[in-house]
Structure 1
Amino acid sequence: MGSVRVQGLGKAYKQYPTRWARLAEWLVPGKVPRHSLKWIVRDIDLSLAPGEAVGIIGVNGAGKSTLLKLITGTTQPTEGHVEVHGRLAALLELGMGFHPDFTGRQNVFMAGQLIGMSVEELRAAMPDIEAFAEIGDYIDQPVRVYSSGMQVRLAFAVATARRPDVLIVDEALSVGDAYFQHKSFERVRQFRSQGTTLMIVSHDRAAMMAICDRVVLLNNGRVEVQGPPEQVMDYYNALIAEREGSSIVQSEANGRIQTSSGTGEATVSKVWLENAQGEPVEAVNVGEPVTLCVRAQVLKPVARLVLGYMIKDRLGQPMYGTNTHHMDQVLSDVPAGEEIEFRFAFPLNLGPGSYSVTTALTSTETHLTDNYEWRDLAHVFVVVNLNRRQFVGSSWIEPTVEIIR
C-alpha cells in the first residue's frame, strides 16, 4: 500500500524586472540577486496514510496543480521535500505524454513505459485498455485527430491499466462526458476499496463527498483548512462568495461544524418545519406535507432581497434547492429593521434519514453577487418511514405497477 508525505513544500519562480536584469545576474560577479520570487505554493505539510483518499480544492490559481506536479516529480520544489512510497500513477493534464503524430496504440506503449510498465505488460493489458477507453478504430489513428474527450479516455485507461499504490488525478476527468465520468470514478472507487491511496483535485462536491475521507483547501498557495469533506466544502463554498467586508465563521451546531458567511445586511433568525396542522416538528413521515418556515431580519436597507434554501442529506449532498428569485417572489426596497417570514409548502418525498437545511439571503439568484448571509446547517430534521412500503434511496417516488402477461 502506498503513502505520501510532504514537508515544508514550496515552489517559487524567479521574476526579473527586465530581460537585462536576468543577463546581469548571470554575468556580473558577486552573485547579487536581481530577481524577486513569486511563490506558487509554500509551507505545505501534508500526509496521506495508506489507503486514504484525500481531495484537494481551491479557487483557480490556488496552487492545486502545482502541488500535484511537485508530488509526482514532474516539477522540482524550491524548498521542502516529498516522500512517496509505492507505485504511483498520475493523470495531471489532458493527454500528458502523448505525441500528436503517433497513433493511440503507439502512445499507449510510450505513456505506459513512462509510468513503469514493461512492453510485455502493456501487450497483455492492451485489450483492457481499448475496452475501457471505448474509442473504437481511433486507437490506430493519430492522436491529433482525437477530441479532448477521447484523449482523456485513453490517458485515464493507460494510467489505470494496473492498480497503482498511489493514484493522483487532476481535474482532467471533468473533460469527459457524463458516462465516462461515471465509469472512471467507478474505477477509482474500486481501486480505493482495494487499498489504493488516492489524491484527487475536483470541484465536484458529490465526488468529494462520495470518495474522500478528508479534503484539503488551498488558498493563495497555502493550506487554509482541512478536515471532513462536508465541513471543508461548506467553507470553500463560503470562500468563493467572499467579498470585501464579508466574513466566514465556523462553529459547532448539532454536533457538526456549521459554516456561515456574508456581509451582514440581513440574517436568518429562525428556521423550523411545520406539519399539516401547523405544529413544529423535528421528525417527519415519508411523503408527509410540510411547510419550511424561515424568519429573516433585515439589518441594513437592501434594494433587492432573495431567500434561497437547500435540503442536504447527512453526507452534505444536495437533495433539492430553490429560491424566491426562481419563484418570482423577490422583495424590493426592504428597509432596515423589518422582519420577514418565508413559508415554503411541499410534500417531503425523501427517504428515511437525517437532513439539514442551508439558507441563503442574497440580491439575485446566486450568492456569488451579494452574499448577505449564507448559513449551512441552519436546521436539522429527520425523515422516518412510519407507514410506507419498504424502499431504498433518498427519494420517495412510489410507482403504480402494471404487469402484462
Structure 2
Amino acid sequence: MSILDVRQLGKAYRQYPSELHRILGWFGLGRAPVSEHWVLQDVSFSIAPGEAVGIVGQNGAGKSTLLKLITGTQFPSTGSVAIHGRVSAILELGMGFNQDLTGRENAFHTAGLMGFSRDVVQEHMPDMEAFAEIGEYFDQPVRTYSSGMQMRVAFAVATAFRPEILIIDEALSVGDAYFQHKSFNRIREFQEQGTTLLLVSHDHQAVRSVCNRAILLEKGRLLKEGNPNEIVDFYNALIAEKEGDDSTIRLETLGDGTVRTISGTGEATVISIQLLDTKGRLLEIVGVGDTVTLYIKVKVNAFISRLVLGYMLRDRLGKSIFGTNTHLLGRELENVQAGKLIDFRFTFVANMGPGSYSLSTALHSTRTHLENNYEWRELAHVFEVANLRHAEFEGCNWMEPSIEIR
C-alpha cells in the first residue's frame, strides 16, 4: 500500500473579467476565464512507505506547486492527492511564521496547527530550542532573524515529532554547512525509522545520496522517473541540450541494467577509456594509493575551434569525488580538424577508499558542458578500488597520517 498517491494532478491559474465571474466559475456558471495558465498538468505517481523521492527540474517546472498541492496549501484544478499518514512540511522559508512573534511563540503556533497540544509542545520545546541553536534569538521576534535562522527554527519545529511523511522544498539551501549536515543526519535517522521523504532540491548531490527514486518535472509535466543517478544525469543532459540547438540525448542500458545517458552534438566523441598502471598495463582493479593513468581516446568528427575534455569521478551513490578538465588545467586544444584522433592521459594517485566508482566524460569548448556540448557521457567507465597493501580504514579518501605521541 502506498503512503502517498497523486493522480492526474493539475493546477491552472485563471484570470476572470471580475471577482463575481471568478466566484460564479467555481459553480460552472458565468463567463469563461480571460486567460488560463497551467503550471502543472496530468501528474501521477505513488510513493511507498519509507521511500525517499527527490523532485528535480528547472525553475518554473512546477516543483513547488506540486508540493503545495500535496500539503493542501493550494487546491488542485484537476486530479487528487491521497495521503495516508501525518505530514510535516518545510516549504517556502518562514511560511506560516508570524514575523512579530518570537521563535518560541511560532513553535507553539506551528506545532499546534500540526495537531499537538500545548502540553506536548511544551515537553518538546527544549529539544526544538537546542536543535535550532540560535541562542537568545529564540525569544526574539522572527522579523529580526536572518534567513538561515528562520530555516533553523522551521526545521527544528517540523522535525520535533517524527512524521510519516517529511516534505522539504529547497529550505536547507539557505542554511550554513554545519546545520545542513545536522539536518541531513536527522533526515537519515527518520528514514531509518521508516519516514517517507519527499525532497525538492537543486543540490543534485543531496538527491543522489539521500533519495532512492527521483522524479523529473518539465514544463509542469512528469517527464521521467526512476533511479536518482539516471534521472539527474538525464536532467543534466536536458539542460545541455537546451543550450545547443543540435544537441541530442540518448540512453543506453548496460549489462547490469543501469542506464547510461549520452548527450551532445556529436562533433567529438569518446571512443575508448582505460585505466593503466605505471607500466602501461590495463587495470581491472585499482589499489588504494596506486599511481594510475586515465587514458581517453577522442575522435573529432567536425572542425572544432576549441576543444576541452573533462572528467568526473563518482562513488557508487553518484556523489562527486573529483572532477577537472583541460580548460582548468590550461591544456585546451585550438583549431582541431575533422577526422583527428586525440589521446589524453591524466596521471594521478588514486587516494580513494575501497568501493565501486564511475567515470563521466565531457567534451565541450569552455569551462562547462553547458556551452557547445559536443558530448556528455555518464557512466563512461566503471571500476573497482581495493585496499591491497594499506592498514584498514574507513571513508572515501585514503589520507594515512603520521603519528606522534608524547
> What TM-score, normalized by structure 1, do the two folds share?
0.95
CA distance in structure 1 between the aligned counterparts of 2:393 and 2:111, rounded to whole angstroms? 45
Written as runs of structure 1 = structure 2, the 5 A alignment for 1:70-149 is 70-149=69-148
Aligned length: 400
- The answer on whether the counterparts of 2:209 and 2:318 sit within 8 Å (CA) in structure 1 is no
CA distance in structure 2 between the aligned counterparts of 1:344 and 1:175, rounded to whole angstroms? 37
Secondary structure, aligned partner of 1:390: coil
What does residue 252 of structure 2 align with? 251
CA distance in structure 1 between the aligned counterparts of 2:36 and 2:376, rounded to whole angstroms? 37
Task: Give the root-mean-square deviation of aligned CA atoms.
Answer: 1.9
What does residue 382 of structure 1 align with? 384
Secondary structure, aligned partner of 1:180: helix
**How many angstroms does 1:199 deviate by?**
0.6
- The answer on whether the counterparts of 1:274 and 1:290 sit within 8 Å (CA) in structure 2 is yes
Secondary structure, aligned partner of 2:241: coil
CA distance in structure 2 between the aligned counterparts of 1:182 and 1:247, rounded to whole angstroms? 37
**How many angstroms does 1:90 deviate by?**
0.5
What does residue 46 of structure 1 align with? 45
CA distance in structure 2 between the aligned counterparts of 1:314 and 1:254, rounded to whole angstroms? 16
Q: Bigger CA drift: 386-395 or 256-265? A: 386-395
CA distance in structure 2 between the aligned counterparts of 1:151 and 1:231, rounded to whole angstroms? 34
CA distance in structure 2 between the aligned counterparts of 1:154 and 1:320, rounded to whole angstroms? 34
CA distance in structure 1 between the aligned counterparts of 2:212 and 2:137, rounded to whole angstroms? 38
Secondary structure, aligned partner of 1:233: helix
**Match status 1:10 vs 2:15:** no
**How many angstroms does 1:49 deviate by?**
0.9
**How many angstroms does 1:259 deviate by?**
0.6
Structure 2 gap ranges (5+): none
**Match status 1:61 vs 2:63:** no
Q: Bigger CA drift: 362-371 or 249-258? A: 249-258
CA distance in structure 2 between the aligned counterparts of 1:30 and 1:66, rounded to whole angstroms? 27
Change (3 A) 1:191 1:34: closer
CA distance in structure 2 between the aligned counterparts of 1:274 and 1:63, rounded to whole angstroms? 46
CA distance in structure 1 between the aligned counterparts of 2:349 and 2:234, rounded to whole angstroms? 30
**How many angstroms does 1:209 deviate by?**
2.3
Task: Give the aligned residue type for 2:12.
Answer: A
CA distance in structure 2 between the aligned counterparts of 1:338 and 1:2, rounded to whole angstroms? 54
CA distance in structure 1 between the aligned counterparts of 2:142 and 2:47, rounded to whole angstroms? 35
Residue by residue over 1:222-251, the C-alpha shift from the partner in whole angstroms, topping out at 9 and shown as x without a partner, is: 111111111111111112222322111111
Secondary structure, aligned partner of 2:93: coil
CA distance in structure 2 between the aligned counterparts of 1:96 and 1:40, rounded to whole angstroms? 21
**How many angstroms does 1:169 deviate by?**
0.7
Task: Give the aligned residue type for 1:76.
Answer: F
Residue by residue over 1:325-345, the C-alpha shift from the partner in whole angstroms, topping out at 9 and shown as x without a partner, is: 011001111121111111101
What does residue 365 of structure 1 align with? 367
Structure 1 gap ranges (5+): none
Fraction of identical pairs, as percent: 55
Residue by residue over 1:102-158, the C-alpha shift from the partner in whole angstroms, topping out at 9 and shown as x without a partner, is: 111111111111221211111111111100111111111111111110001001111
**How many angstroms does 1:389 deviate by?**
1.6
- The answer on whether the counterparts of 2:209 and 2:319 sit within 8 Å (CA) in structure 1 is no
**How many angstroms does 1:402 deviate by?**
1.3
Written as runs of structure 1 = structure 2, the 5 A alignment for 1:114-193 is 114-193=113-192
**How many angstroms does 1:321 deviate by?**
0.8
- The answer on whether the counterparts of 1:284 and 1:382 sit within 8 Å (CA) in structure 2 is yes
Residue by residue over 1:360-394, the C-alpha shift from the partner in whole angstroms, topping out at 9 and shown as x without a partner, is: 00100111112111001111111122222212221
Residue by residue over 1:188-230, the C-alpha shift from the partner in whole angstroms, topping out at 9 and shown as x without a partner, is: 1111111111111112223222221111111111111111111
Secondary structure, aligned partner of 1:95: coil
**How many angstroms does 1:35 deviate by?**
2.3
Secondary structure, aligned partner of 1:281: coil
CA distance in structure 2 between the aligned counterparts of 1:159 and 1:259, rounded to whole angstroms? 37
- The answer on whether the counterparts of 2:287 and 2:388 sit within 8 Å (CA) in structure 1 is yes
CA distance in structure 1 between the aligned counterparts of 2:130 and 2:361, rounded to whole angstroms? 45
- The answer on whether the counterparts of 1:2 and 1:165 sit within 8 Å (CA) in structure 2 is no
